[in-house]
Amino acid sequence: MKTLLLTLCLSLAPLTPALAETLHFVTEEYAPFNYLQDGRITGIGVEQVETIARASGIDYTMEIMPWARAFAMAKNQPMHCVFTTGFNRERADQFVWVNPLLKDEMVLLKRKDGSKGPATVQEALAMKVGSQRGDFAVEALEDLGFKEIDLAADIDLTLRKLLSGRIDLMPTSIKTYRNLVNQGQPVEKAMLMAGKTYGIACQKDTPPALIARLQAELDKLILSGGQDRIFTAYGLPPNARTADNGDKK
């Protein structure tokens, strides 16, 4: 009987102090993954983060801000995480990670104006390209050989530069490209880039037990089909199918 009572007490006990601390999620305006709508932060990434945070039983806050600020905050301030963050070799050891919120191919976009896009990387390198400060797409562009990259505070500014002719190309994910087309934006694929994984990047001193709980809940969300249902609700294909044959070029 004493053993049973002890077991019940332990199962009903609050989280340990390390897990009971408030975790601060920060993100940027980047529809359909994270954005403000009617004063509320929503999106594909947001719904996943909220779902696994609640299931983990942790206290959390969420704030939207320019990407460079969010990224620096998660890198330097304890108990801060930034999403939806591209995972690459350079960032791998700068954070502790919960992956994947998204798996997707990257693509260079151009204006849909009847002009011919670049046929090769060398042709693309001769064109003006733009991205966002602190975005890992900048590293992808540099890896391709781009030297001068026009940097903006967020994707909306980059898109406006593309449509106004201030830049010729911009990198984004296939899913974001599809979302822009669904919105009626006059953009089209110029060239495919490498596939990428995106997730939650947390400050390195974030308690390992907390990260483990978040990862376990994300794994459950994926296995249950919940992640796919979130993508479908926003009109995008599930993570399992990042690009169909019609998207290849």
Residue 1 included in any domain: no
User: According to the model, what pLDDT value does residue 12 have?
Assistant: 36
User: According to the model, what pLDDT value does residue 19 have?
Assistant: 54
Is the link from the previous residue into 237 a cis peptide, with omega within 30 of 0? no
Query: What residue numbers bound the domain in which 85 lies?
Result: 23-103+197-247
Domain end residue (candidates: 166, 181, 196): 196
Residue 159 included in any domain: yes
Find all residues with CB under 8 Å of 43, minimum gap 6, and list them. Answer: 30, 31, 32, 33, 34, 35, 234
Residue 16 included in any domain: no
| 92 and 48 together in one domain | yes
| 87 and 156 together in one domain | no
User: According to the model, what pLDDT value does residue 6 have?
Assistant: 34
| 38 and 95 together in one domain | yes
Residue 234 included in any domain: yes
Residue 110 included in any domain: yes
Report how far residue 131's alpha carbon sits from residue 168's, in angstroms, rounded to the nearest whole number: 11
| 109 and 192 together in one domain | yes
Residue 3 included in any domain: no
Q: Going by DSSP bridges, is the β-strand pair 129-132/187-202 parallel, antiparallel, or unpaired?
A: unpaired
User: According to the model, what pLDDT value does residue 7 have?
Assistant: 33
Residue pair 105/54 in contact by the 8 Å Cβ criterion: no
Report how far residue 41's alpha carbon sits from residue 30's, in angstroms, rounded to the nearest whole number: 11
| 92 and 60 together in one domain | yes
| 203 and 237 together in one domain | yes
| 113 and 190 together in one domain | yes
| 133 and 192 together in one domain | yes
Q: Going by DSSP bridges, is the β-strand pair 23-27/40-42 parallel, antiparallel, or unpaired?
A: unpaired
Residue pair 200/79 in contact by the 8 Å Cβ criterion: no
Residue 5 included in any domain: no
User: Number of folded domains in the chain?
Assistant: 2
Residue 89 included in any domain: yes
| 99 and 109 together in one domain | no
| 97 and 204 together in one domain | yes
| 146 and 156 together in one domain | yes
Q: What is the CATH number of the domain that holds 235?
A: 3.40.190.10
pLDDT digits (tens), the chain, 249 positions: 333 333 333 333 344 444 568 999 999 999 999 999 999 999 999 999 999 999 999 999 999 999 999 999 999 999 999 999 999 888 999 999 999 999 888 899 999 998 888 989 999 999 999 999 988 889 889 988 999 999 999 999 999 999 999 999 999 988 889 989 999 999 999 999 878 899 999 999 999 999 999 999 999 999 999 999 999 999 888 875 443 333 333
Angle between helices 44-56 and 226-233 (to 10 degrees): 150
Domain end residue (candidates: 181, 196, 211): 196
Q: What is the value of pTM for the model shown?
A: 0.71
Retrieve residue 46's tokens.
């947001």
| 181 and 115 together in one domain | yes
Can you spell out the DSSP letters for the chain?
A: -HHHHHHHHHHHSPPPHHHHSPEEEEE--BTTTBEEETTEEESHHHHHHHHHHHHHT--EEEEE--HHHHHHHHHHSTTEEEEEEEE-HHHHTTSEEEEEEEEEEEEEEEE-SS----SSHHHHHTS-EEEETT-HHHHHHHHHT---EEEESSHHHHHHHHHHTS-SBEEEEHHHHHHHHHTT--EEEEEEEEEEEEEEEE-TTS-HHHHHHHHHHHHHHHHTTHHHHHHHHTT---TT-S--GGG--
Retrieve residue 39's tokens.
């004063």
User: According to the model, what pLDDT value does residue 3 have?
Assistant: 37
User: According to the model, what pLDDT value does residue 196 have?
Assistant: 84
